[in-house]
A and B are shown apart, each in its own frame.
Chain A
Amino acid sequence: SQTIHQWPATLVQPVGSPLSLECTVEGTSNPNLYWYRQAAGRGLQLLFYSVGIGQISSEVPQNLSASRPQDRQFILSSKKLLLSDSGFYLCAWSVLAGTDTQYFGPGTRLTVL
C-alpha cells in the first residue's frame, strides 16, 4: 500500500532563517506531488505541484520554492522565512493529474517567530 511521510511534524523558526520541509511517498511510482499551505481556520492553498522529477509548477508568487530531486521526494524550501510563512503545510500525491483523488500526509506545523 502507499504511504506518504512528512517531517518534521512541528517546527519553530526565527524570521530570516532557512527552511526545508521534506515529503516522501512510498509504494507508488511517478506520482504527482503537491504542496499546500493552510492558514488557521481556512481552506488549503496550493503552492506547488510536480508531475515528474525536476518539473515544478508554482501557483502563487511567494517566499518559498520547491524541488523534486527524486521520483518520490518533494522538498519545500525558503532561504529566509517571513512571519507570514507560518502555517500548516501539507504534502499530497495523486496517480493522475487533473481529475484524481489526492492523498495527504500528516502535515508540518510551522511557526515563524
Chain B
Amino acid sequence: SQQGEEDPQALSIQEGENATMNCSYKTSINNLQWYRQNSGRGLVHLILIRSNEREKHSGRLRVTLDTSKKSSSLLITASRAADTASYFCATYTGGGNKLTFGTGTQLKVEL
C-alpha cells in the first residue's frame, strides 16, 4: 500500500455539515501536507503540519497529526458546495525529493 492512504475513499455530505478525512502513513516524516484537486485541475496546497505540531488551523480547515499512530485528519467545518473536490495527503519519504500522495478522498457537498 502507499505511504499515504486516505479514508474514506468517497464522502457525500450536505452543505453546512462537517467533513472529516483521515490519512495514514508508514514511515517517519518531517511534515504532512494536504492538497485539494478540483475535477480536471491541478492540485492546490491547503495546509502543512510539521512533525512537532499536533494541530493546525486555517480558516475552516483543521488538521491534526498523531505521529505515534502515523495518522492525520483533515476537518472541513461548515462545508460548502465549492468544497466539492478530491483531497490528498502527502509526505516526503526517505529524506529525498519524493512527495508521495495517497489515492485521495472524493468529497461531494450537496445543496
Contact = CB atoms under 8 A, between A and B. Distances in A.
A43 B88 contact: yes
A102 B99 contact: yes
Interface residues of B, number: 25
B3 to A, nearest CB: 10
A106 B88 contact: no
Interface in B73-102: 88, 92, 95-102
Contacts of A46: 98-100
Interface residues of A, number: 25
A98 interface: yes
A107 interface: yes
Given A43-B102, A57-B97, A101 B42 contact: no
Interface of A: 32, 34, 41-44, 46, 49, 51, 57, 59, 88, 90, 92, 97-99, 101-107, 109
Given A43-B4, A88-B40, 11 more contacts: A32-B97, A34-B99, A43-B101, A46-B98, A51-B97, A59-B98, A98-B92, A102-B99, A106-B42, A107-B41, A107-B42
The 3 closest A-B pairs by CB, nearest first: A104-B42, A43-B101, A104-B43
